[in-house]
Structure 1
């Protein structure tokens, strides 16, 4: 997590509970690769105490990802949705997750921005979606400041009305308590939908980037295997994202951040493959 200005840049590493897809019987796997920091999310109210007991026993630090706890009726976040009921439901969820983060002393809380909209809709335009983003983010910034816990907003997509780096930059300049989570995979997918230069996007947002979600994917693989572990064998010329190039642009020389390995087990759960990828990413970052 980013430290106050004046401190030397620091890169932390964490692993996401996405690696076990909510299976609390596999919590031990999260520490077997040498991590002492986790990003936890999507556990329900019955699972959460077990997860937090595990973190306490192991002496782990953690950030949280909305929703936590996950309600039974949870659906995809709608932070910029023109349906006010959906948007309020998302704000309520983030509010509950922030209460959980406060109770357990989490370093930060991740939320999603904007809402996913696959196709243009009649009556919507970028100005309206940006107005909704401003309204939601003004509330989140006030909550974050009051709680003393950074709310870190992650780029998701596609959204035909809110996807440019400049859109995100305006939000973070307007609401300094909010920080940015660069999700490498979602950026790669959005670049396939829109005229986005991923490297320029990552560099422009780097001063506001506190967390980076690290995994690989392609538009085709995402549909079936979701988040693929980062690994040097997954080459950009074969359609995979260029992790070293993106990290070089995304990690600001003036700011600290946390790199979270956010793979899921559908592509492979092979510990050796995952471990090789983690070591590779750390070596890449160490060379910057």
Structure 2
């Protein structure tokens, strides 16, 4: 299991060197313009870091939100085009994976047309994964009645088994508390190939640093639930995805995650 960090933690998005405080195996880059790609390539090569990309990267201008299931067909088409650009870029960079939000998290949520738009997006995601030889992971989102719970994601992934899931622990927690997080692990198991880790409460979408075990601060999703996710799903990566402005990472959290990764490493006797 690789320990990763999202560029969400950066106060200045171009200050990639600040990510080195996390000693990451992987960095997930999000919404960078095409002009930043040479810097990203050099940074990863210089420091032996594996890149991953969060759609849309490169970020197209005039794309205020990502709506893979519409309901506006134009927004749905733009989401597919952005995913293709991201997958193409990921192949060029040798990225570990591509993450894409699914479904549209914004109201309204009309039932009419949802299944067709969802199938069209996921079919294209699977095609792009094959074409560019890069895993495409859909990320669970906050409330959408047509796809939000673990069993609903499992239904879609059963139809598109080459796709994986990026489990956003904060999104799952907002929907149903720690038990919803545990449910994703129990229902989807190895379909979960990456995890976004941060702390939040159920009243909003804040992304705070996840407290380290033994720090005296209790996370909203307990450490034993996060450990259950990692043991059950054995994702390839866990990515710290808190907001910027929180200072240096807590070494105790990094140590705990690395100890967990070592425990879950292939070939180790359990």
Query: Which category describes the TM-score, using the shorter chain as reference length?
Result: 0.7 to 0.9
Q: Does 1:16 align with 2:6?
A: yes
Structure 1: unaligned runs, 5 residues or longer: 1-10
Distance 2:184 2:47 in 1: 37
- Deviation per CA, 1:187-210: give whole Å up to 9, x if none: 111226xxx733122221122011
* Pairing partner for 1:145 from 107, 130, 145: 130
The answer for the alignment partner of 2:239 in structure 1 is: 260
Task: Give the deviation of 1:37 after TM superposition.
Answer: 1.9
| 1:161-200 alignment runs, 5 A limit | 161-191=146-176, 197-200=180-183
Distance 1:212 1:59 in 2: 21
* 1:91 to 1:228, Cα distance in 2 relative to 1, 3 A: same
**TM-score scaled by length of structure 1:** 0.82
Q: Is the 8 A contact 1:231 1:278 kept in 2?
A: no
Q: Is the 8 A contact 2:174 2:203 kept in 1?
A: no
Distance 1:35 1:62 in 2: 10
* 1:275 to 1:76, Cα distance in 2 relative to 1, 3 A: farther
* 1:165 to 1:131, Cα distance in 2 relative to 1, 3 A: farther
Task: Give the deviation of 1:285 after TM superposition.
Answer: 5.9
Distance 2:113 2:188 in 1: 22
**TM-score scaled by length of structure 2:** 0.87
Q: Is the 8 A contact 2:8 2:242 kept in 1?
A: yes
* Pairing partner for 1:97 from 45, 61, 86: 86
The answer for the alignment partner of 1:6 in structure 2 is: none
| 1:27-66 alignment runs, 5 A limit | 27-66=16-55
Q: Does 1:115 align with 2:104?
A: yes
Distance 2:2 2:262 in 1: 12
* Pairing partner for 1:130 from 115, 119, 122: 115
Q: Does 1:210 align with 2:193?
A: yes
- Deviation per CA, 1:247-279: give whole Å up to 9, x if none: 3135436x552111111224x22x1x5333222
Distance 2:43 2:230 in 1: 32
Q: Does 1:249 align with 2:238?
A: no
**How many corresponding residue pairs?**
261
